[in-house]
Chain A
Amino acid sequence: MENYKSIKTIKLLALLFVLGLTIASCSNDDDDHDHDHEEELITTVTYQLSSGMDIVTLEFQDIDGDGSAAPTYTVSGPLTANTIYTGSIELLNETESPAEDITEEVEDEGDEHEFFITSSISDIIVTKTDSDEDGNPIGIESTLVTGDPGSGTLTIILKHEPTKPNDGTSADAGGSTDVEVTFNIAVQ
């Protein structure tokens, strides 16, 4: 009798184990394709500068995100000296099809984002022309004024949750960096 009881216990435990396995394997079926798209990924940063027919495009592209492939930097041509350009930034996620426009999200959350555009060429002056709901700049739209010819770099930084307003530098704004890309540019 005693033995019979313990055999019953063994059977019960074995049954529970099998039951556990079954529950687990059933629940597995509800999502077998977990390869979610990287919904937040920014693969492409484009800064288009136009002054009438004079259009210069700076493009950063990194299709595999944090993956091993190195990003590409494309600058369509030199900027013209002593010229006023209208600048516009576009952020895309090209892993989605069609490509997702992330610029819109940044615009919607303008008070939590800000672009900082700086150049090593001291003559270049960038002014942000758009503003968020609190009247602080976002930087999607800007004007860029070139001075004398020269060459150097141009860096675009997007901060998430920066201090707003700030003194115009990314260092003062703090926050966490969503974009930081640097292009080699020339002014002729």
Chain B
Amino acid sequence: MKRLIIGLVLTIYGFSYGQTCNFTFLGELKDFHDGSSIESATIYIKEKDKYIVSDLDGKFKIENLCSGILTLTISHIGCETKTVSYEINNDVFKTIYLEHHLEELNEVVVNSNLKTEETSIEKSINKAVIENFSDKSLGDALNTISGVSSLNTGNTITKPMIHGLHSSRLLIVNNNVRMFDQEWGDEHAPNIDINSGNRIEVIKGANTLKYGSDAIGGLILVRPKKYMDKDSLFGSSLLSINSNGRGGNVNTELVKTYKSGYYGKFQTSYKQFGDFKAPNYYLTNSGLKNINMSLNFGLNRFEKGFDAYYSVVSNELAILQSSHIGNVNDLVAAINNEEPRIVEDFSYNIDYPRQEILHHLGKVEAHKRFKGFGKLTLQYDLQINRRKEFDLRRGDLSDTPVIDLRLFTNSLQSNLRIDYFNNLKIDTGLLLRYQQNDAISGTGVSPLIPDFDKYDAGIYVIGSYNLNETSEISAGLRYDFTSFKADGREDNTNWEEAYNYVSSNLSYSKQFNDELSLYLNYGLASRVPNPSELFSSGLHHGAARIEIGSLTLNKEIANKLIVSLEKNNENFGFSISPYYNYINDYIQLIPTGITTTVRGAFPVWEYNQVNAQIFGVDIDVNKKINECFDYNGSISLLKGDNKTENIALIHMPATNFSNSISYKNDDLNQLTISLNHKTVLQQKRYPDYNFYTYNATLQEDVYVDISSTPSSYSLFSFNSSMQFKAFKKGNIKLEFNIENLFNTSYREHLNRLRYFADELGRNFNLKIKINY
């Protein structure tokens, strides 16, 4: 049958070939987006083996065509080459659309100054830095950016903090999926394998409304790599080993791409550490075990495509054993003792207290472009987060978690980008999300967070307008609706609440010359109280306090203004970003009294709302000293005030600055050596929540100093790397690093376990990376 058709076609072809050859083909080349004419494009006529060029109006004419097939290959600078075929049996006029935008391709050619939004104020870290932190966490890597600090619980749980704000006030977006991993808890670190990302961006303003209304602190975007459409198979493996913790990480990734635009990626990593060591003692029970896997495949074509992604993160984290305490007197004993109460020899055991977290994330995204209109993207994502926390318990319960929560989130969202207009780009979209928390029974304690259902719906529109060649203005508006339904602590006391909230942003960017640019950004963000703020009720070990939530909390509303002046130059560049954030009804957790239980006295901490202001400035400088030497420096200043009570805000990062000098020699196997320094000054501005409690053993009142902050510290580190050719196309990169070079003993006030133990001592690290 097939042969018959081919034969028939050939016959017709042959027959028509002998016919008249006086047809004319009129073609017009247009831009896919805005329909503008494309001039000077090269058109190759296959049948005639001839080249012609389109005129000023994008038109071209081919005369004296015989009837039959006409094949044209059209190429133009900045366009994807396109091949089209037509069957000619009379005079024809055709409009051919070419893809003139390179936005998709730009991301392949890693552009040093690529931004999420033209007008956003952001900093990013690239794959090289990510690899440096291969065996650490997202929070550790982001800590290198000015204005970003972290709230830690020991050394394994690191929560990123932007301009003093963390947890629910930051949106973490992994592969275009907003993370929902019970991020509300201070000791819940984001469940992201840092190795799965190619680039991490920190947006310090409250813009980029696309991802949500509640980015009061900012956004963190973990981005995958876009691959070129060519037939290729490549991969890399990285091994990192460390003296401190006697552990490390191994990460492998394999990528296959096709000329047709299809791609697939598989990545997996395994990480394990034993007890870490402070300069003077082992931190008993501080290791971790971590297995991650991610799978990504899709089709990346200009007109349409899809992307499917799945990742699983399995974390087992030990928490310093000495931090489990019974009551305030135990806390006083811990504060007064130099060393933690339990110091044992090194071990890989993960004992109590510990956390076990399993996070699944899956998404499917599809996009299609419409001629002369724009691009429509649809995405469905699903996340399941299971968190188990184990604590020191009596008897049969010792292997039963005290906390066992499962959070299920799934969302459907659309984004429509209209880029038809010359200077105007419009993004608009819808979001539907359903979230369910399930407090798994069998823990033997009443759940920290009850069962709840949460429904979200959102709609947004963002417009960006090019005022002229060098300046752009962008404005956005977003409306969200959230409905909460929760089970009460007692039967038949169910609780329901709905919130409406609006957010908006206005930004402006101006390019003075090639290097100097100014960004202005104003954002209004609103945040609904999170489950922990609403429902908490009970004893928190490790903090020796009873935490009580409030069902009557209002939404938080923040107004943030941030300005950034940036000079992008290799020889001398800088960025200066001052900001001011005023937060109405800022939700904070503060001590309100003391209660007596069978364990003795505990301070009661309650969630309340105050008006707060946070302002400061981040400054970064880079300078080329000579051909080989570079200098980088940064400083972050921040001040947080509780305006309602006219005192300082709790848990605000202290002034910190860093310097680094690096040497690079491309001729010598790309040798780099760098010496880095970071100083964190003592936080002198803190609210005084100290109190007295009766100590029955001593038969007297004792002073409980929970507020005073640890003193300033300076750390030095050393990095070096070299690259060697290996195999046919691949290479091997070797790295040797030393952290905390002088084995300095210090404590950090943003570490929740600062009462119990010092931070980590010196670490020697060796990394081997093979690209193939």
Interface residues of A (CB under 8 A from B): 2, 5-6, 9-10, 12-14, 16-17, 20-21, 23-25, 27-28, 31-43, 45, 60, 62, 65-66, 68, 70-71, 102, 105-106, 108-109, 116, 118, 120, 153, 155, 157, 159-161, 169-171, 174-182
Contacts and interface: CB of A to CB of B under 8 A. Distances in A.
Interface in B374-433: 376, 378-380, 382, 392-395, 397, 408, 410-412, 432
A36 B597 contact: no
Given A6-B368, A34-B447, 19 more contacts: A2-B368, A13-B364, A13-B380, A16-B364, A20-B434, A24-B410, A24-B436, A27-B438, A28-B438, A34-B440, A35-B491, A36-B443, A40-B394, A42-B598, A66-B538, A70-B596, A160-B394, A178-B326, A180-B327
Contacts of A12: 364
Contacts of A180: 326-327, 329, 598-601, 696
Given A13-B366, A66-B595, A177-B327, A34 B395 contact: no
B379 A13 contact: yes
A18 B696 CA distance: 59
Interface string B342-379: 10000000000000000000001010100000001011
B330 interface: yes
B70 to A, nearest CB: 23
Given A153-B696, A171-B697, A179-B598, A35 B489 contact: yes
Contact of A14 (B304, B393, B412, B598): B412
A170 B445 CA distance: 27
Given A9-B366, A109-B394, A39 B598 contact: no
B699 interface: yes
Contacts of B538: 66
Contact of A40 (B306, B326, B444): B444
14 contacts: A6-B304, A6-B366, A17-B432, A21-B410, A24-B436, A34-B439, A36-B441, A60-B598, A65-B598, A66-B546, A66-B595, A160-B392, A160-B394, A180-B696
B451 interface: yes
Contacts of A153: 696, 699
Contact of A34 (B341, B394, B450, B601): B450
B364 A155 contact: no
A147 B368 CA distance: 91
A37 B444 contact: yes
B730 interface: no
Given A36-B443, A38-B444, A176-B324, A155 B546 contact: no
B441 A177 contact: no
Interface string B647-679: 000000000000000000000000000000000
Contact of B397 (A13, A28, A39, A177): A39
Sorting the interface of chain B by its residue count into under 10, 10 to 19, 20 to 34 or 35 or more gives 35 or more
Nearest to B697: A170
Max chain B Cβ within 10 angstroms of own Cβ: one of A17, A25, A43, A181: A17
Max chain A Cβ within 10 angstroms of own Cβ: one of B411, B539, B600: B600
A31 B440 contact: yes
A155 B697 contact: yes
B760 to A, nearest CB: 23
Given A24-B410, A38-B445, A39-B445, A178 B596 contact: no
Contact of B597 (A27, A32, A62): A62
B310 to A, nearest CB: 13
A42 to B, nearest CB: 5
Contacts of A36: 441-447
Contacts of B410: 17, 20-21, 24
B487 interface: yes
Nearest to B413: A13
Contacts of A157: 696-697
Contacts of A13: 364, 366, 378-380, 412
Contacts of B304: 2, 5-6
A45 B696 CA distance: 16
B325 interface: yes
Contacts of A182: 694, 696
B333 interface: yes
B490 interface: yes
A91 to B, nearest CB: 9
B437 to A, nearest CB: 10
Contacts of A31: 438, 440-441
A6 B410 CA distance: 21
B598 A71 contact: yes
A33 B34 CA distance: 59
B164 to A, nearest CB: 31
Enumerate the 8 nearest inter-chain pairs by beta-carbon distance, A residue then B residue, closest first.
A177-B326, A180-B600, A39-B444, A20-B410, A155-B696, A176-B326, A105-B395, A17-B412
Nearest to A23: B408
A94 B268 CA distance: 50
Max chain B Cβ within 10 angstroms of own Cβ: one of A66, A108, A118, A175: A66
Contact of A38 (B382, B446, B541, B546): B446
A110 to B, nearest CB: 12
Contacts of B446: 34-36, 38
Given A9-B378, A13-B378, A28 B595 contact: no
Interface in B303-347: 304, 306, 324-327, 329-330, 333, 341-342
Nearest to A32: B451
B395 A43 contact: no
Contacts of B408: 23-24, 27
Contacts of A10: 378
A31 B442 CA distance: 10
A35 B597 contact: no
A116 B601 CA distance: 17
A17 B380 contact: yes
B447 A62 contact: no
A61 B329 CA distance: 21
Given A35-B491, A60-B598, A178-B326, A21 B434 contact: yes
Nearest to B538: A66
B294 to A, nearest CB: 19
A88 to B, nearest CB: 18
Given A66-B595, A171-B697, A174-B333, A34 B451 contact: yes
Nearest to B321: A161
Max chain A Cβ within 10 angstroms of own Cβ: one of B451, B487, B596, B696: B696
Nearest to A169: B697
Given A24-B410, A180-B600, A33 B441 contact: yes
A42 B395 CA distance: 14
A37 B392 CA distance: 18
A53 to B, nearest CB: 30
A121 to B, nearest CB: 11
Nearest to A8: B366
B392 A161 contact: yes
A34 B487 contact: yes
A34 B599 contact: no
Max chain A Cβ within 10 angstroms of own Cβ: one of B329, B366, B397, B597: B597
Given A13-B378, A66-B539, A179 B443 contact: no
A24 B437 CA distance: 10
A178 B491 CA distance: 29
Contacts of B694: 182
Contacts of B546: 66
B697 A118 contact: yes
A116 B329 CA distance: 14
A65 B597 contact: yes
Contacts of B445: 36, 38-40
Interface in B127-174: none
Contacts of B436: 24-25, 28
A70 B539 CA distance: 16
A98 B479 CA distance: 53
Contact of A45 (B324, B341, B598): B598
Interface in B588-614: 595-602
A71 B451 CA distance: 29
Nearest to B490: A35
